[in-house]
Chains A and B, each alone.
Chain A
């Protein structure tokens, strides 16, 4: 079984500041993948970044980076130099790397960027 916990229901950040969104996970799979998705008010789910449990380095994609601490079972998303367009719901998700690759999502964090 897999579980994702996102403990921050909402966050408010000033524009241009960096922000960290927390994600902790639990899994019995020896190999797994961790994902972050963004859901703006328009409703679509946008893939941001992926981290494999076997990856030695933290994943980065532009202004997004994943602070992966395997021993602590955490996979926090870091957004550098936040922009007004970053205001959205953010979901952390996990899946095993065998079989059907089903995603298990956390409840999400609503991020609001203030000008």
Chain B
């Protein structure tokens, strides 16, 4: 158990509304990631963070923004949700190799199912 929680776990919203998803970790991991999972595409990286206030774009970042004001929290915001953003969103953590045992690995949160009507 990597101590990762996501909230909310399920959300239904309407097109054009802002949505924020939260990822919270309890073990002081440096790296955090947001992925989306869609049928036929596996998981794709949206944004990631390599420290407080340090973030960068992933493969599918258009329409999303992130913030990390504290080590333990990584927020994903959809400024104006669209139906194409209906997906399952996963948060993940990792540590750079060599710091702790087993840290070459990304561990995932339970996921958030988002439906945009």
Contact = CB atoms under 8 A, between A and B. Distances in A.
Contacts of A104: 45, 59
Q: Which residue of B33, B40, B59, B104 has the most chain A CB atoms within 10 A of its CB atom?
A: B104
A105 B111 contact: no
Interface stretch (B12-20, B78-86, B90-98): B90-98
Given A45-B90, A106-B42, A107-B42, A100 B50 contact: yes
Q: Chain B interface secondary structure, helix, strand, loop or mixed? A: strand
A102 B58 contact: yes
A100 B48 contact: yes
B106 A91 contact: no
Interface in A23-77: 33, 35, 37, 43-45, 47, 50, 52
A78 interface: no
Contacts, number: 56
Contact of B105 (A47, A100, A107): A47
Given A50-B105, A100-B50, A43 B88 contact: yes
Contacts of B92: 45, 103
A14 interface: no
Contacts of B58: 102
Interface string B58-86: 11000000000000000000000000000
A43 B43 contact: no
Nearest to B2: A47
Contacts of A105: 42-44
Interface of A: 4, 33, 35, 37, 43-45, 47, 50, 52, 91, 93, 97, 100-108
Interface of B: 31, 33, 35, 40-45, 48, 50, 56, 58-59, 88, 90, 92, 94, 96-97, 104-108, 110-111
What 8 pairs between A and B have smallest CB-CB spacing? A105-B42, A45-B108, A105-B43, A107-B42, A102-B45, A47-B105, A43-B111, A44-B110
